[in-house]
Structure 1
Amino acid sequence: MTSTPTKIASWNVNSLNVRLPHLQQWLGDAGPDIVGLQETKLEDARFPDAALAELGYRSVFAGQKTYNGVAILSRMPAADVQVGIPGFHDEQKRVIAATVGDLRVVNLYVVNGQDVGAEKYAYKLRWLEAVHGWLENELRAHPRLVVLGDFNIAPDERDVHDPSVWNEHHILTSTAEREALAKLCSLGLHDAYRLHHDEGGVFSWWDYRQAAFRRDMGLRIDLTLVSDALRERCSGAGIDREPRTWDRPSDHAPAWVELG
């Protein structure tokens, strides 16, 4: 007898207040077991946990007004919830982790960084270094680890529509950012999408400007990373473009991984 695969997804909803109907529709259509949300932009008291419970999802969340905000939705109850990076003081709600079944799930909304060399760029690199130290410990404690989220880093040239623009000197694709992501992966994490797809030109984010989605001028910055212990269980991964076609969409599409 074979067990049912577990589908895990990541989606930057860019305001859950605006995008709740989209999330409800997509949960019904796609039926994921676990979802990490980023940019919920809601204080905890306003999080729609009752509406999501009607669809069969439990919610753990950490939010703030107007900016940031992360959540994990799951069909099974979540345990051992961690908000923020241990030992790294940060008032921005960008990190939440929880144990769901036999999986440890870490949901990250990585700092954008604004521009290479800016103060926010330096903060991004410090933040990623803190995440590295934390994940090193998480992997020791939880070998079956999934790290997902809006990484605000396109891993390589295949993940941008125009490498001449999105190059080693540009935010989201700079050498230091890509090196920081590679350092995270060197802990024993694998880009689930790349385990199944070598081709370029598949994106998860398109700017609202310049008709970027219609022209497919995108970046793949929403990632699902699986640990060494889960690599053999990774039976599929992809990006669901459909919600990006809906009315008043998020600028991101859900990225998903399936574990057999």
Structure 2
Amino acid sequence: MLFSTFNTNSIRARLPIIIDWLDQIRPDVLCLQETKVQDKDFPLCKFQDLGYQAVFSGQKSYNGVAIITKRPVSEIRSGLYGVSDEEARFISAQIATIPVINVYVPQGFAPGTEKFKYKLQWLTDLLAHMEKEYDPGRPLLLAGDLNVALEPIDVFDPEGLRGAVGFHPDEQTLMRKLLDWGLVDIFRKHHPQGGHYTFWDYRIPNAFKRKIGWRIDYLLATAPLAEKSRDVWIDTQARVLEKPSDHTFLVAEFDIDLSP
């Protein structure tokens, strides 16, 4: 079975790419971030036409997360435990027998700013949520845009970017705590070498062609699920299409069956 994640940077703008990709790849689960639509405007029927259902949490023009799946869904939740936050950045659901968590971590703007402090607090709250709600000894998947590159091999210029937002030690410390709780970086498990990215900044001319990228999108699994992973890949084809997102699809294959 296939789990996947994609930061759309507007589901309205990227809907043709998403629908074509779903129709070709047919993943069991696709987590979307930065949908940037209110719930009433989510294009649910487009997914239903392909045999998928969707759960989503959105807001106008910003943020927004969704889980698209063709498997049974239950226990839907939006928002972190004990946190009152109007920003639509978290949604979770039980997909058949597996809890799936989809997150869009704040970008953080710049170290030392209030937005950066908010990002650090959000990551702290995410860890607290995981510790309270889940057991690392059971299968679980956490997917999404975490807006943190963890290692030097995850960015195109580690020396030049050191200490910048997205590659700051305070962010990396919190992400390592999340992994230490009991999550495995599935991509890095299968691909220990560098030079693989999921994000290429629009503001840098020809960033994709020049391989000026970051690996900030993740599929993280607890050990019982991670050990069943067969492979994981970054589908870069979507990044060369007309009007692409600045991110692309990340896909992992697992040797499990979610059929009822």
Shorter-chain TM-score range: over 0.9
What are the within-5 Å matches in structure 2 for residues 84-233 of structure 1? 84-140=79-135, 143-167=138-162, 169-209=163-203, 210-233=205-228
Supply the distance in 2 between the matched residues of 1:82 and 1:166 (Cα, whole angstroms).
36
Q: Cα deviation per residue 1:136-185 (whole Å; 9 max; x = unaligned)? A: 12322982110010000011011101112221x11001001011110000
Residues 99 and 140, structure 2, Cα contact 8 Å, conserved in 1: yes
Is 1:33 matched with 2:28? yes
Distance 1:252 1:29 in 2: 19
Q: How many residues align?
A: 254
Q: Secondary structure at the match of 1:99?
A: strand
TM-score normalised by structure 1 residue count:
0.95
The alignment partner of 1:211 has SS state of coil
Q: Which structure 1 residue ranges, 5 or more long, are not aligned? A: 1-5
Distance 1:89 1:141 in 2: 25
Measured after TM superposition, the shift of residue 76 of structure 1 is 1.1
Distance in 2 (CA, whole Å) between partners of 1:215 and 1:141 is: 39
Q: Do the aligned residues in 1 keep the contact of 2:238 with 2:244 (CA within 8 Å)?
A: yes
Q: CA deviation at 1:229?
A: 1.4
Partner of 1:48: 43
Displacement of 1:77 after TM fit?
Answer: 2.5
Please give the alpha-carbon distance, in whole angstroms, between the structure 1 residues aligned to 2:192 and 2:218.
Answer: 15
Instruction: Give the secondary-structure state (helix, strand or coil) at the position aligned to 1:117.
Output: coil
Distance in 2, matches of 1:139 and 1:105, equals 11
Aligned-residue CA RMSD (Å): 1.1
CA distance in 1, matches of 2:68, 2:132: 24
TM-score of the superposition, structure 2-length normalised? 0.95
Contact 1:44 1:64 in 2 (8 A): yes
Q: Deviation at 1:219?
A: 0.2
Q: CA deviation at 1:9?
A: 0.5
The question of whether the paired residues in 2 share the 8 Å contact of 1:104 and 1:142 is answered with no
Q: SS at the partner of 1:164?
A: helix
Aligned residue identity for 1:52: F
**Aligned-pair identity (%):** 38
- Report the CA distance shift for 1:142/1:198 in structure 2 as closer, same or farther (over 3 A): closer
CA distance in 2, matches of 1:170, 1:236: 31
Deviation at 1:96, TM superposition (A): 0.2
Tell me the secondary structure at the aligned position of residue 141 of structure 2. Answer: strand
Measure the CA separation in 1 of the matches of 2:173 and 2:165: 13
Task: List per-residue Cα deviations over 1:105-126 (Å, max 9, x = no partner).
Answer: 0000001000011111111111
2:135 partner SS: helix
Change (3 A) 1:205 1:141: closer
Q: 1:231 deviation in Å?
A: 1.9
Letter in 2 for 1:242: Q
Is this contact kept in 2: 1:236–1:257, CA < 8 A? yes
Aligned partner of 2:249 in structure 1 is 254
One-letter code aligned to 2:191: H
